[in-house]
Structure 1
Amino acid sequence: MIKNKFYQYGNQNGRVPAHLNFGKEVYDNMVANKDIVALVNADTSEQRTYGEVAQLTPNIALSLIRLGIRKGDIVCICSEKNLEFLPTVLGIMCSGAIFTPTDPTYGSHPLAHRVKIVRPKVVFCSLTAYKEHKPVFEEVGSVKHYILYGDQGQDGAILLKDFLTESVALEDFEPVSVNGYDDTAFIVFSSGTTGLPKGVPVTHLGFLLNAQNMTRDYKGMVIYTSREFYYTYGLMYALACLRSNSTLVYNLNGGELQMLEAMQKYKPKVLQLAPMIITELIKSAILDNYDHSSVNYIVSSSTYIREDAVLAIKTRIPSLVSVLQLYGMSEGGSICNELACTNGYKAGSSGLPGLGFIMKVVDLETRQPLGPNLRGEICIKGPSVMKAYLGNVQPDCKDEEGFLKTGDIGYYDEDGYFFVVNRIKELIKFNDISVAPAEFEDILLQHPAVREVGVVGKPHPVHGEVPVAFIVLQSGATASEQELVEHINSRVTYRMRLAGGVRFINRLPRGAGDKLDRINLMKRLVDEDAN
């Protein structure tokens, strides 16, 4: 083989342990660094050392095995952040089982769709999530046991403290052996480039490499995270931080005041923030009332941060060295990042390809690879890229060379730095959360007055994009915009609400094969603003 001059190659020298078990690598590192603080709940000042997290990990693993969980079984967590969440994830992986998260704020419809894909045998959940979502899990019928965080018991569930019947000395525990190249560590969800959310299996090997892409020498470094552990980016970054033995500080419910108080008290060097929160800090009226001089880096993902915003946040936080913009996706992990850039950063760039990645940019029509500074679809290949969606539900997600089609439009420059400028996929980024139009469309079609529906994203200066629904009503039927918005909002998480409202039209535009023409709908929104 001869290297393709139009392909961009990441560093191919990532290091992984011979056992290829992500849970074991983190566990061994925790045992070796027992006295470092691992987790801090900034709201309550409670904390756990790596020794305490290390002890909880095998206790959870062995107690799961006692319940009958075996290698390859799926265990779900449906809970807000707490001090036991990440140890539970590691305990699941060390038991040989597969972990999957789900958003406890989901409405019944999107939750049921995801749970039916993975069919977990055990669910760890908060009290709120248990009360709200047990009927959904019961409908699926796969769950044998519910493990409840906290001290308040409920009929049909086991309190975590009562579940933890097994214990072992740290030096005597050995995680279940896995084949890290093929065996799945956890399953997350993605809408890919189109359609309803699909299950994405992440192997132990894939995440061992991804964790190296996300963090470097962070041992003992204090990192503040604003992201939820049940979302892919928040989960993966938190696990990468535990692998590097850093101290992870979080608030339960977020909020500007709580975040600034945590920054002043715990003096983090790194802030893991969503772009929307960076915008809030730029405009903050109280930022200067707090000491944030410890902050050197902001790490962000999801949507692009404009160069003027980067300059503005550096003005508000003078100690800030850089805003690191990660480019990633559930199917591939941390694809591009500025941590790989030994020659410095470039404004607007997501950096160089990460460990093990090969990247190309192809012409949208001919699919031929393009040279520097030419825009096309970004495609990726590497050992951390998923082999296929669960059930191979979208077999055309890769091209004939095995490159995953990201659905993102971008280019690379003469130095190999990548710039993501747009996307061709349908996914809507609302408040930094990925929203699948198909989910909204499916729910709206359940309303008796709706005949056809198409949902697209409308650019918004604060939220990134807001979902807008174009609706064709049944002949003779009536429905108000408020009625249809409430129909959606009562069935989805508040983070996914139909914030852009409804537009009533007589006919949806369609292209070849009667496929919905979303570009036409988005153009209508542009014309709407122009008028």
Structure 2
Amino acid sequence: MLKDSYIHSVLEAKRRISKFKMLRNPLYRYGREDGRVPAHLNFGKEIYDNMVKNKDVVAMINADTEEQISYGEFAQMSAGIALSLTRIGVKKGEVVCICCEKNIEYLPTVVGIMCAGATFSPMDPTYGTFPLLHRLKIVRPRVMFCSLLAYQTHRATFEEVGTIEYYVIYDDEEADGAILFKDFLTETTSFEDFQPVPVNGWEDVAFVVFTSGTTGLPKGAPVTHLAFLLNSQDVVPDEFSLSSIYNSREFFYTYGLMYGLAAIRVAATLVYNPSGGEKAMLEAIQKYKIKILQVTPMIIAELIKSAILENYDVSSVEYIVSSSTYLREEAVNDIRKKLPSLVSLVQLYGMSEGGSVCHNMNCSKVSKPGSSGMPSYGFVIKVVDLKTRAPLGPNQLGEICIKGPSVLKAYLNNVNPDCKDEEGFQKTGDVGYYDDDGHFYIINRIKELIKFNDINVVPAEFEALLLQHPSVREAGVVGKPDPKHGEVPVAFVVLQPGCTATEEELIKHLDSRVTYRMRLAGGVRFIDRLPRGAGEKLDRSALVQRLLNEDTN
């Protein structure tokens, strides 16, 4: 009898828990559930089929050279890449990388990789040896597509990985040990007859992108086909179909890559300038009648203060999509004055762990200045107290936590296994709140990621490189507010006993291993010991306070 009573109690407890989980939590915000999910669950096929349907539409334009390709040409190239990858034995799930500057073959290559059933991972060609090797060792690619410059610069690093069997060069100039892109495309077929390799979209990985490294070194974040099938509908909504979109970011950045692919999904015309710069962008807007600008807050700030904006016809611009850092409400109001044709400015919020965008963009509506909108398709988002982890209501600051079919199950190699809470919510590390209408506002990061010229700079990478210098015992890097760059990296260094090093020597040591956008612009401070908290963890806030004290003294 006691045993039966115990079993009954356990079953009753489980029933109550199950019932509780079936109820909506009034403190959580829930995204829309009407996203379109095709039966094949294959993002490569989704893009490919749309390209075939729109074969005569212009897909991409290089505004610097006026080179362009139609969707029919795009599909033909992607099919040839997929078939050629299959010919050399690339199988479903194997990783193929691209290490190249923005070019017109980049996105067709990405689609071709996915259509072959393989997984794509972008590599930044401007990285130094350490950051690049760290990422390559995580994904261990079999094939590397790259520019001649990237191949010549990083060949030793590529070879150190030990898994790359084929190098494909986009340029026409031959390089020892590599295949020219035109020679690699040995297989072809009518693009109408081509069929992408089937995938299990719920589990199979379309991309591996990398986290910004706010907690330790960057981690590999897998994005499934299903995740981006849902996400892409918010990144570039169907209402932007056949529109002209200006893409300001490199394709090896997650923001640039995901936005570019989402634009291709709706058969938009993607316009870009490899050269970059305000003048080139304004010329492209005027010439190609750009409707949507995909930019960063730094570019918006340049347009607000522009001395040449009035020289160009920018009346075609109706939407601006901004991401990377927080955009002040004042900036939103100022750019509206500069661009009277602007219908909506959307502040996009997302993360690699969420598949890209975590909030619905609602581009057809006037968004609230400073807000990143409401939860995206299938997302559940909560704000929790930073200490107690209890869910919070409207207008209360806490950590943003996300859950849904687009959120990764785990990082590659299962690093950082405690990235989720007991309910399966991903901890974002971002602090924010939602208002009474359910609109979210992102305020800051729990961990101090440095934003130098709107680019994520990872302190742990600087520290790892500084520790390679024989005279450095300890190193801590933080961001110092700067009116021009947003933040500049500053290094605090403890030297080995009996060793010496100058600021110039350490900066030279770093500059030879990183790029300009990652340089140690704030200089070096020598101290006797680094401040540490519980568990000997570096107390970055104490270092930031030292910098603030410098400015007040």
TM interval, short-chain normalised: over 0.9
1:470 partnered with 2:467: no
Structure 1 residue 336, shift from structure 2 partner: 4.1
4+ residue runs over 4 A deviation: none
Deviation of 1:338 after TM superposition, in Å, equals: 5.7
The question of 1:168 aligning with 2:189 is answered yes
Contact 2:359 2:373 in 1 (8 A): yes
8 Å CA contact retained: 1:40, 1:247? yes
Is 1:186–2:207 an aligned residue pair? yes
Picking from 259, 266, 276, the partner of 1:244 is: 266
SS in 2 for 1:513: helix
Shift in Å, 1:212: 0.7
CA distance in 2, matches of 1:489, 1:49: 41
Q: What displacement does 1:296 show?
A: 1.1
d(CA) in 1 for partners of 2:184 and 2:357? 38
Match for residue 335 of structure 2? 313
Q: Residue deviations 1:133-173, cap 9 Å, x none?
A: 11101111111000000211111110011000000112211
Query: Deviation at 1:397?
Result: 0.5
Further displaced range: 491-500 or 359-368: 491-500
Please tell me whether residue 267 in structure 1 is matched to residue 279 in structure 2: no
Contact 1:300 1:326 in 2 (8 A): yes
After the TM superposition, which of the residue ranges 15-24 and 491-500 deviates more from structure 2?
Answer: 491-500
Name the amino acid aligned to 1:389.
Y
Task: Specify the alignment match of 1:136 in structure 2.
Answer: 157
Matching residue within 298, 315, 320 for 1:293: 315
In structure 2, what residue type is equivalent to 1:365? K
Indicate the residue corresponding to 1:117 in structure 2.
138
Contact 2:235–2:357 (CA under 8 A) maintained in structure 1: no
Check conservation: 1:340, 1:353, Cα contact below 8 A: no
Task: Note if 1:206 corresponds to 2:227.
Answer: yes
Q: Distance in 2 between matches of 1:86 and 1:106?
A: 21
Mapped contact 2:380–2:402 kept (Cα < 8 A): yes
Structure 1: unaligned runs, 5 residues or longer: none
2:361 partner SS = helix
Counterpart of 2:15 in structure 1 is none
Give the AA of the match of 2:439: Y
Instruction: Quote the Cα distance in structure 1 between the aligned partners of 2:363 and 2:298.
Output: 25
- Residue 341 of structure 1: how far off its partner (Å): 7.3
- Give per-residue Cα distances to partners, 1:44-79, cap 9 Å, x unaligned: 001001110011111000000001111111100000
Q: How many angstroms apart in 2 are the aligned matches of 1:38 and 1:213? A: 20
Give the corresponding residue for 1:433.
455
Indicate the residue corresponding to 1:256 in structure 2.
Answer: 278
Q: Which residue of 1 aligns with 2:84?
A: 63
Residue 545 of structure 2 corresponds to residue 493 of structure 1: no
Which one is further off, 217-226 or 174-183?
Answer: 217-226
Letter in 1 for 2:325: T
Matching of residue 513 in structure 1 with residue 541 in structure 2:
no
Residue aligning to 1:45: 66
SS at 1:350 equivalent: coil
Q: Deviations over 1:215-258 (max 9, x none)?
A: 11222100111100001010000000000110000001201111
Q: Which amino acid aligns with 2:480?
A: K
Structure 2 residue 394 is the aligned partner of structure 1 residue 372: yes
Structure 2 match to 1:225: 247
Write the distance in 2 (CA, Å) between the matches of 1:339 and 1:426: 27
Decide which structure has the larger Cα Rg and report it.
Answer: 2
Q: For the structure 1 residues 86 and 255, does the alpha-carbon distance in structure 2 shift closer, same or farther, using more than 3 Å as the test?
A: same
Of 5-14 and 318-327, more deviation after overlay is shown by: 318-327
Q: CA deviation at 1:183?
A: 0.3
Kept in 2: contact 1:450–1:473 (CA 8 A): yes
Q: Distance in 1 between the 2:442 and 2:94 partners?
A: 37
Aligned pairs for 1:352-501 (under 5 A) are: 352-501=374-523
Using the alignment, how far apart are the partners of 1:159 and 1:335 within structure 2? 35
Name the structure 1 match of 2:8.
none
Please tell me whether the aligned partners of residues 8 and 353 of structure 1 are also in contact (alpha carbons under 8 angstroms): yes
Quote the residue 2:123 is aligned against. Answer: 102
Q: Amino acid of the residue matched to residue 415 of structure 1?
A: D
RMSD of aligned residue pairs (Cα, Å): 1.3
Partners of 1:69 and 1:473 in 2: how far apart?
48
**Contact residue 399 and residue 405 of structure 1 kept, 8 A:** yes
Q: Which moved more, 1:501-510 or 1:308-317?
A: 308-317
Q: Counterpart of 1:295 in structure 2: which amino acid?
A: V
Task: Using the TM superposition, give the Cα deviation of residue 454 of structure 1 relative to its aligned residue in structure 2, in angstroms.
Answer: 0.6
**Partner Cα distance (1:498, 1:467) in 2:** 5
Distance 2:242 2:367 in 1: 25
Please give the per-residue CA displacement for 1:464-496, whole angstroms capped at 9, x wherever unaligned. Answer: 222111111122222221221221121112221
Check if 1:8 corresponds to 2:29. Answer: yes
In structure 2, C-alpha distance between the alignment counterparts of 1:468 and 1:31, rounded to whole Å? 51
Quote how far apart the aligned CAs of 1:379 are: 0.3
CA contact (8 A) 1:36 1:49 kept: yes
Kept in 1: contact 2:344–2:364 (CA 8 A): no
Give the Cα separation in 2 of the matches to 1:157 and 1:461: 45
SS of the residue corresponding to residue 171 of structure 1 reads: coil
TM-score by length of 2: 0.94
**Shift in CA distance, 343/292, structure 1 to aligned 2, threshold 3 Å:** closer
CA contact (8 A) 1:193 1:406 kept: no
Matched residues in 1 for 2:320 and 2:425: separation? 30
Distance 1:235 1:279 in 2: 23
Q: Which amino acid aligns with 2:294?
A: Q
SS in 2 for 1:62: helix
Aligned partner of residue 353 in structure 2, secondary structure: coil
1:275-316 per-residue CA deviation (whole Å, 9 max, x = no partner) reads 111111111111111111111111111101111111222222
Cα distance in 2 for partners of 1:299, 1:161 equals 35
Partners of 2:97 and 2:380 in 1: CA distance: 32
In structure 1, C-alpha distance between the alignment counterparts of 2:192 and 2:331, rounded to whole Å? 49
In 2, the alpha carbon distance for the partners of 1:256 and 1:284 equals 8
Report the Cα offset of residue 463 of structure 1.
2.3
User: What is the CA–CA distance in structure 1 between the aligned matches of 2:455 and 2:429, rounded to whole Å?
Assistant: 17
Q: What letter is aligned with 2:344?
A: S
**Kindly, what percent of the aligned residue pairs are identical?**
68
